[in-house]
Structure 1
Amino acid sequence: MGDPYGNPGREATAPPEESLFGPGSQFHRFFNDPRWALAVVRATVLEAAHPQIGAALADNSSFVVHPWRRLSNTLVSLQRMFGADEDTRQREAARLNRLHARLSGTDARNQPYDAMDPEVRAWVVATLFESSVTMCRLSGQPLDHATMERLYAEFRAFLAALGDQAGHLPSTLPEFWQYYDRMVAEELQNTEALRIILYQLFEHLPAPPLFRGLPTLWAAGRALAGPVIGTITVASLPEVFRRRAGLPEVPGAQTLMQGAYMAARLTGSLPDDWIRTENFVSLLQLSPDGDGPWSERLTTLRTRTKRAGALFRLITPAAAEPGAPGAAGNQRGAREFFTDVLDQTGDGSLDWPDLAAMARELCSRLDLDEPEETRLYDAFAAWWRELQAALDSDGDGRVSADEYAAAAPALAGPALIRVAEVLFDVTDADGDQSIDAEEYRALFRRGFARSVAEGEGRYTRSAFVREFLSFMSGRRRSTPYDPLLSDA
C-alpha cells in the first residue's frame, strides 16, 4: 500500500506533549464521529487476524457472549487514556497492563501468545490509527498530511503512556505504511477469532437493554443488519489480506461499503447529544429495571418497542427466549444458569477464563487498584480450583454443562463464600463494614432495592453475602446480579 496519499517521507512533527491528549486532540474529535463505529469494528477484525491476538481473544475474551459490555468497557478505557487528566491516564494504563499481564498461554496449535508482547500491543494501536485514516478516506474526506501526522503522534503517545517504547511503531508515516503493508501481507491470518467476529458475532448478536425481552423484534433487525455489517467490514479490509485469507467477494459489497461510510459521515450533522459517545456508553450500561433519568427514558422506549414487538409477534409468532422476563419465574435450571452466568466466554464449557472474565468485569466496575484487584482475582482462582476438584469428573481440566448439572449443589463451597466476602470488602470503599448507596451504585449501576437496604439505608455484610450466594449457588434470578454477570 505505502503512504496512501503519496506524501514525501519526513519525520512526524509531534506537537508539544501536553497537547496530544484531551479535548483538543484529533482523537477526541473522532471519538464522537459516527464513522468511528465502523472504524472500530474494522480495527477489531484486523486485531483478531493477528495470530497472538486471535488466540488470546478465542481463549479469554467474553466478546461473543457479552459484546455490549466489552464495547462499553473499551470506550470508557479509551476515554480515560485520551482524556486531559494525567493521573487518570496513568491509573488506566496501569490497569490495562495488569489486565494484559494475565492474558498469556498457548493456542490450539501449541503456539504461545502473550498480551504484553510489545509488538502485539503496537499492532493494536496501529489498527486503530490506520482504520481512523481509512474511515475518512472511504467517506470522501481524506485526511491532509498534517492532520494525519498529528493523529499518528497521538497514537504513538498512547502506546508510550502504556509504558511501551515508541520504537515499536515506526517514527515516520512512510515507515508506518511500510510496516502496515508488511504485517497485512505476511503476519495476519484467517484466525478463529476473526471468523467468529465476521460470521457469528454479528448474526447472533445479543440484544442490548432496549430490546431485551423483545426477541422477535430484535431477531428481525439482526437478521438484516448482521450480514450487512459483516459484508461492509470484509469489503473495507485490505485486498491483499482478503485474497490471502479467502474471504468472500460479495457482488456489490464495495458499493454497499462506500454507501455505509458516506451515510455515517452524513449522520455527523445530527445534534451533538444524539451522537455523543458518552450517551451511547450510558445507554449500554443501563439495566432495564434501573433508576435515574436515562432509565426512565429507556422504560418509555421499551414500552413503545413492546408495542412494535407485539405486532411482529402477530405476524411471526416466536417462543419466549430462555431466561426472558416472565418465561420461568424467579428460578432457572442448572443448564440455563451455566449458559447465562458461568460460561462467560461462550465456548460451552467452564474453565478459568470464564471466572477471570467475571473478576475482570467486577474490577472494571469498581475501578480497583492494587492490591484489591489481585485479592479479587485470587478469590476467583481459588473458587475455580474448588469447582475443578468437585465437578471435573473426566479430568479434562474443564467443567462441562453435564458435569455441572450433575453436581450443581457442590457450587456453594468455602471458596465461593470467600469470593462473596472479598467482593464485599472491595465494594466497601470506606471500610465501614456496610455498603452505602454510592458504593452500591458503583457495583450494580442502580440504586438500592427496598429488600436489600437495612437499617438507615445500608447493605450489611451478611445481607450482601447471603444475596450473592443465593444467586450463585441457588440459581435464583437476582435484580442486581443478573445485569452484572449475565447481561450482554
Structure 2
Amino acid sequence: MAERGASFRRDLSEWRIALVAWRLLVLQAAHPVVGAGMAEHSTYQAHPWRRVEHTLGSGRRLFYQDADALRREVARLDRAHKRIRGTAPDGRPYDAGDAATRAWVLLTLFECVVAMRRLGGDPYDAGQLELVYAEFTGAVAAFGLPEGELPGTAAELPGYFARVAREQLEFNEATRYLLNDILRGAPRPRRLRFLGDAGWRAVRGVVARAVTALTVADLPPVVRERFGLVRTRRAALLSWLLHRGAGAVVPLLPDGLRFRSPDEQRVPPRWRPPRQDARGPRLDRFFREVLDQTGDGFITVHDLRAMAHNVCWQLELDDEGEARVYRAFDGWWEQLRSAMDANGDGRVSREEFVAATVAGCDRDPAYLEQGLLPALRAVFTAADSDGSGFLEADEYRVVFGGPRVHPAELSHGFRQLDVDGDGRITREEFLHGFTEFFTARADSTPGTQLLGRP
C-alpha cells in the first residue's frame, strides 16, 4: 500500500478527477485503434456523460475494490472488447483486444491521475510516483498483458508517452469531435437538472468552450505539438484557476464529500406531468431514451447491439449468456427492420417506430412476440442470476438502475411490476409489464412506468 499522500486508488476517487476526465477521453480516442472502435461501436456522441462515467467508473472498480471485484471488472472488459474489432474506413484492421492498445488505455488513466495532482499544485515526488505506479501495475496485472507492454518503472513513463504520441496518436474524427463539437449538442448532465433543458441549452455553448480550452491547455505538450494545438494564455489561466482551486479546496473536505464511491447512487430524473393520450408520447420517449443509443434520430442494428452490450455489461454474463442476449437483440432488430424500414436503408426513424408500433399492436395482439418479448426473455434469464425463476429486488436493480433512475423510482417500478406483492417479479409479471408499456393507452397502468413516473 502506498504511503499517506500517495495512493493511486484514493486519488482516482477524488471529485477533482472530473477536471481531467475529458483530457482522458481525448488521449484514449487519439489512439488509432480506440478511435476506429469508437467510430463504429461507441454511442459517445449521443451519450457523452455515460462514456465518461463508464470510463471513470470502470477505473474505480479496477483499483478501488477487492480482488474479486477486480477479477469481475477485467472479465467484463474482456467480454466487451472482444466484440470491438473490424476494419477502419482507411482499410486498417483494428481490435480492441490488442495488448499494446490496452496498455495505452490503462496508462492514460494513470497519467491523468498524475496530471491531476501536478496541475492541482500537489505533485507526487519521485518516491511517491514509483509507489503509486507499483500500486497501479499490481492491479492491472490481472489483465495478463505480455511482459514489456507496460513500462517497468514510473521514470520510464515520459519516454513511453512521447514515443506513442509521436509515432501513433492521430487527430482522428473521434478526437476532433470530442474537442470541438460534442458538447455543443450534448444532452443536459443529470447533475445540472436544476437548469432544465432550456437553461442547459443556454449555457452549454459556454461550457463547451471552457472544456475545450481546459482540455487543450492540459494535454501533454508532445500531444499538442503532434495535433498542432495551441495553448493560449487565457486557457492556461483557466487551467491554473480551476486546478489550483480544486487542489486547495477538495483535500480539505470530509471524506464523504471529497471522494466518490464506485457504487454512488444516482440522482432522480426531473418529473413530468402526466399526459392524457399517452401511448404515442410514451413510445417516443422510449425511442429517444432507450432505443436511439447513438442519438442521431434513427435506430439501426448498432443501436440494438449497444443495448445488448449495456445489458451484458451490467450483468457480467459469461460468454454463453452474452451470446444469448446478443442473438435475442439481433432478432428484435430484424423484426423492427422488416416491419418499419420501408426504404431499405437499414435504419428506422422515430416517427416510423412510433407509428408502426402503435399500428402493429392494434392490428395483432401477438405483435410484440415477434421481436421485443423474446429479447426481454433473454434479459430476464440473464438477470435471474440465481436461476430461481424470479427477479428479486437486487437483481431488478442491476438491470434497471441506470443513470436516469433514482433508487426511489427503482423501488416504485419494482412494486408496480410485482402484481401479487410477494416481493419478487415472475417472468410473466416482467413480460406483462413491458406489454402494458407498449400497449396501454393511459399512463395509470403499472407497466407504463418502466422509465419512471410519466
Q: TM-score range by the shorter chain?
A: 0.7 to 0.9
Cα distance, 1:344 vs structure 2: 0.2
Instruction: Output the TM-score relative to the length of structure 2.
Output: 0.83
After superposition, the Cα gap between the structure-2 partners of 1:173 and 1:25, relative to the gap in structure 1 and judged at 3 Å, is: closer
In structure 2, distance between residues paired with 1:94 and 1:114: 17
Matched residue type, 1:482: L
**How far off is 1:272 after superposition?**
1.8
Q: Offset of 1:254 from its aligned partner?
A: 1.0
Q: Matched residues in 1 for 2:45 and 2:221: separation?
A: 26
Mapping 1:252-291, distance limit 5 Å? 252-268=234-250, 269-278=252-261, 282-283=264-265, 285-288=266-269
Which residue among 290, 305, 308 is the counterpart of 1:356? 305
* Residue 422 (structure 2) pairs with residue 454 (structure 1): no
The within-5 A match list for 1:138-287 is: 138-212=119-193, 214-247=196-229, 249-268=231-250, 269-278=252-261, 282-283=264-265, 285-287=266-268
Partner Cα distance (1:371, 1:69) in 2: 26
Alignment partner of 1:421 out of 374, 377, 381: 377
2:101 alignment partner in structure 1: 120
Q: Cα deviations across residues 266-287 of structure 1 (Å, max 9, x unaligned)?
A: 23112221122118x625x334
- Cα distance, 1:441–1:126 mapped onto 2, change above 3 Å: closer
Aligned mates of 2:210, 2:31 — CA distance in 1: 24
Query: How many angstroms does 1:142 deviate by?
Result: 2.2
Aligned to 1:482: 451
Percent identity for Structure 1 against Structure 2: 38
Residue 90 of structure 1: how far off its partner (Å):
1.3
How many residues are treated as equivalent by the alignment?
Answer: 430
One-letter code aligned to 1:32: S
Q: Distance in 2 between matches of 1:472 and 1:45?
A: 39
What amino acid sits opposite 2:307 in the alignment?
M
Equivalence map 1:303-452=2 (5 Å): 325-326=272-273, 330-332=278-280, 337-401=286-350, 404=353, 407-408=356-357, 412-445=368-401, 446-449=410-413, 450-452=415-417
Task: Give ranges in structure 1 of 5+ residues lacking alignment.
Answer: 1-18, 289-301, 303-323
Task: Supply the distance in 2 between the matched residues of 1:475 and 1:58 (Cα, whole angstroms).
Answer: 39
Secondary structure (helix, strand or coil) at the match of 1:259 reads helix
Q: What amino acid maps onto 2:256 in structure 1?
A: D
| Stretch moving more, 368-377 or 97-106 | 368-377
Once residues 65 and 385 of structure 2 are traced to their aligned partners in structure 1, the CA distance between those partners, rounded to angstroms, is: 26
Instruction: Mark the CA change 1:475 to 1:454 in structure 2 (over 3 Å): closer, same or farther.
Output: closer
Q: Secondary structure at the match of 1:62?
A: coil
Q: 1:176–1:393: structure 2 CA closer, same or farther, 3 Å change rule?
A: same
| Secondary structure, aligned partner of 2:94 | strand
- Give the whole-Å Cα distance in 2 for the aligned partners of 1:442 and 1:141: 38
Rounded to whole Å, the distance in 2 between the matches of 1:442 and 1:403 is: 31
| Residues 139, 25 of structure 1: alpha-carbon distance in 2 compared, 3 angstrom cutoff | closer
Contact persistence 2:311–2:399 (CA under 8 A): yes
- The 3 A distance-change label for structure 1 pair 209 and 139 is closer
Query: Could you say what secondary structure the match of 1:252 adopts?
Result: helix
Distance of 2:42 and 2:144 partners within structure 1: 23
Indicate if the aligned counterparts of 1:159 and 1:166 stay in contact, CA closer than 8 A: no
Is contact 1:444–1:480 with CA below 8 Å preserved after alignment? Answer: no
Equivalence for 2:432: 466
Equivalents in 2 of 1:154, 1:124: separation in Å?
A: 17
Offset, 1:263: 1.4
Contact 2:63 2:139 in 1 (8 A): yes
Letter in 2 for 1:458: R
Structure 1 stretch 248-257 or stretch 121-130: which is displaced more?
A: 248-257
- C-alpha change, 1:335 and 1:479, in structure 2 (3 Å) is closer
Equivalent residue letter for 1:197: L
- What SS class does the counterpart of residue 278 from structure 1 fall into? coil
